[in-house]
Amino acid sequence: MKELKLSDQTMKITPHVFRHAFAIISKLNGVDIYDIMRSLGHEKIETTMIYLEKVFEKERHAIHSWKPEEFSEYI
């Protein structure tokens, strides 16, 4: 296993981390969740949803739907 140094933190890169990254990057690029599920070999969509919880959590926050220029436009 490799370690990745991010600022002052060290993170172990495991196959599981790559699976989560694959799911998240696929979702952010518009891949259908059922296609992600099949690619990961999951039998249940709920398992894939666990992988994508951080993405869904971020989508639920209104500020993440803003465009960068909109903030400065109104301040």
User: What is the predicted pLDDT for the residue at 54?
Assistant: 82
Instruction: Report CA-CA distances (Å) from 46 to 23, 33, 49, 62.
Output: 13, 11, 5, 24
Per the structure block, which two tokens stand in for 70? 């909109």
Res 1 pLDDT > 60: no
Res 58 pLDDT > 90: no
Per the structure block, which two tokens stand in for 53? 């919880």
Residue 56 CA to residue 64 CA, distance in Å, equals: 11
Residue 8 pLDDT grade (very low, low, confident, very high; cuts 50, 70, 90): low
The per-residue pLDDT for range 24-35, each reduced to its tens digit, is 999 989 999 999
The per-residue pLDDT for range 61-72, each reduced to its tens digit, is 766 667 777 666
Percent of the chain with pLDDT over 90: 44
